[in-house]
Amino acid sequence: MHNFTIKIKPKPEKCDVFVGTDLFEKIAEYLVEKKLGNYHVIITDSKVKELYAKTLLERLQMRDLKAVVLDFPEGEANKNRATKALLEDKMLKLGLGRDTVVIALGGGVVGDVAGFVASTYMRGVPCIQVPTTTVAQADSSYGGKTGIDVTYGKNLLGTFHNPRAVFVDINTLKTLDKKNYINGLVEVIKHGFIKSKKLYDFFHENKGSILNRKAKEYSKVMEELMLLSFNVKKEVIEKDHKEQNLRKILNYGHTIGHAIEKLSNYTLLHGQAVAIGIAVEAFMASKLGYGSKEIYQAQKNTLELMGLATKIPEKMSTKDIVTTTLLDKKARKGLPEFIFLENIGTVKRFVLDSVSITLELEVLEKMLNEYRKEFSS
C-alpha cells in the first residue's frame, strides 16, 4: 500500500491518500485513529450498495463505529437537486448533527453528490472518499470539487470541499464492466497527455496488463499507474486549488467533451465523451498552430488503442455543439475556453502565462467541420 498527503493552499488543509488493495479494514482503522466524528453515513448508489456497502459497514461496526448506509439510484441522471435533498432529509430525520462524517462509496456521481452534501450539511462536515470506478479513482475523488447537474449543464451547482482522506482500492475496479472500466482510463491517460510523459510511456509499455484485469501483474501495474496519475493532479491542485489558472489543464478535452455528453442526454459515458473531446481539441491545436499533427495522431491513436471512438456522433449537429459549449462553466465573456498541448506532457502557454485561450464561435465551427471531414475522406 502507498500513502501520501495532499496539502491544499492557502488554508493548511490536508488530504490523506491511500492506494492499494483490500483497504476497507484500513478505512475503519483510520476513522478510529482520527476521530473525525461520532456518526458515519455511507452514501452510495443502488449498484455499489449491493457490491461493497455491507462489507464496509461491517468493518466500521466491528470497530464500534456508529454507521448507516444511505443510497440513491445509480446513474448521471440522478446527480441532481432532488437526490441531494433526499439524502439531506434522511440525515436530518436520523437526527444527525455536526459530528457526522460522510463516506462517499462509489463512482464519480456518488463522490460529487456525497461531497456536496458534506459541504453544506450543518454548514460542512468531514468527508471521506472511497472511489470504486476508474474515473473516480483517477480524477474526481480528490481535489475538492463537488457538484450536481442541472437542466443547463453539468456541475453548475457545487462547492470546493476537500475530503479528509481518499482510499483507492484497486480491487474494486475488477467488478466494473469493461465499458465503464475503459471509459474511466480516459482521465488517467489525460493526465499523461497534459503533464506526464512518464505516465504516457508507462501506459504504452504496460497496456497489456492495464487493459486485461485478469493479468497476473494487473494489481501491481494498476497501482503504479494510479500513483503516476495522482502525482499529476496532486502537483496541480496544491499550486492552484481554486482553478485560477494551472488547474484548468485538468479540463483538457472537457469543453467539447461536456457538450457532446450533454447532447447525448448522458447516454454517452463521460469518458467516451471526453475521449472525443480530446481528439477534437488535439486536432484543433494542430490546425491552429498550437501543436503538431504528430501530437494529435499520438493522442488519437492512444484513445483508439483503448477501444474508444474518436468520431463525433453524426446525429449531433456542429451548430448544436458550438452552442452547447457556451453552457460550460469554463466559458468566458460568451466564448468557450480551451486547453491545447504543444507536446505530450506539455500544455501550450499563452499571454501572461495563461494555460487557456478562448475561441471565436466561427473559428470553433470551422474546426469542428474540418474534423468531421477527417472521417469522411
The domains of the chain are located at 2-176, 244-373
- Residues pairing with 37 in the sheet: none
Residue 12's pLDDT is 55
The helix/strand/coil state of 68 is: strand
The verdict on whether 123 is a catalytic residue reads yes
> Distance between alpha carbon 247 and the CA centroid of its chain, in Å?
13
Cell (9 digits) for 318: 456542429
Beta strand residue intervals within 11-140, DSSP E: 13-20, 39-45, 66-72, 100-106, 127-131
pTM of the model: 0.84
Rg, Å, the chain Cα set: 20
The verdict on whether 217 is a catalytic residue reads no
Confidence bin at 164 (pLDDT 50/70/90): very high
Q: How far apart are alpha carbons 295 and 275 in whole angstroms? A: 15
Of 149, 193, 173, the closest CA to residue 303 belongs to 193
CATH number of this structure's domain 2-176 = 3.40.50.1970
Q: How far apart are alpha carbons 306 and 303 in whole angstroms? A: 5
The verdict on whether 154 is a catalytic residue reads no
The verdict on whether 261 is a catalytic residue reads no
The verdict on whether 40 is a catalytic residue reads no
User: Catalytic residue among 161, 191, 241, 270, which?
Assistant: 270
Q: How do residues 272-318 score in pLDDT, each as one tens digit? A: 999 999 999 999 999 999 999 999 999 999 999 999 999 999 999 99
Q: How do residues 61-85 score in pLDDT, each as one tens digit? A: 999 999 999 999 999 899 999 999 9
The verdict on whether 187 is a catalytic residue reads yes
The helix/strand/coil state of 131 is: strand
The helix/strand/coil state of 19 is: strand
Q: Which CATH class for the 244-373 domain?
A: mainly alpha
Q: How far apart are alpha carbons 172 and 222 in whole angstroms? A: 12
Q: How do residues 90-140 score in pLDDT, each as one tens digit? A: 999 999 999 999 999 999 999 999 999 999 999 999 999 999 999 899 877
Q: How do residues 168-181 score in pLDDT, each as one tens digit? A: 999 999 999 999 99
